[in-house]
Amino acid sequence: EVQLVESGGGLVQPGGSLRLSCEASGFTLRSFSMNWVRQAPGQGLEWISVIEKITDGKYYADSVKGRFTVSRDSGRNSLYLHMDNLRVDDTAVYYCARDLRPTDLQEAFDIWGQGTMVTVSS
Partner 1 sequence: AIQMTQSPSSLSASVGDRVTIACRASQGIRNDLGWYQQKPGKAPDLLIYAASTLQSGVPSRFSGSGSGTDFTLTISSLQPEDVATYYCLQDYSYPFTFGQGTKLEIK
User: DSSP alpha helices (H): ranges in the chain?
Assistant: none
Closest distance to partner 1 from the beta carbon of 86 (Å): 19
Strands 45-51 and 33-39: antiparallel
DSSP one-letter code for 1: -
Closest distance to partner 1 from the beta carbon of 104 (Å): 12
Catalog residues that contact partner 1 under the rule CB under 8 A. Answer: 35, 37, 44-47, 50, 59-62, 95, 97, 100, 102, 105-110, 112-115
Strands 116-120 and 10-12: parallel
Would you say 45 or 88 has its CB closer to partner 1?
A: 45
Closest distance to partner 1 from the beta carbon of 37 (Å): 8
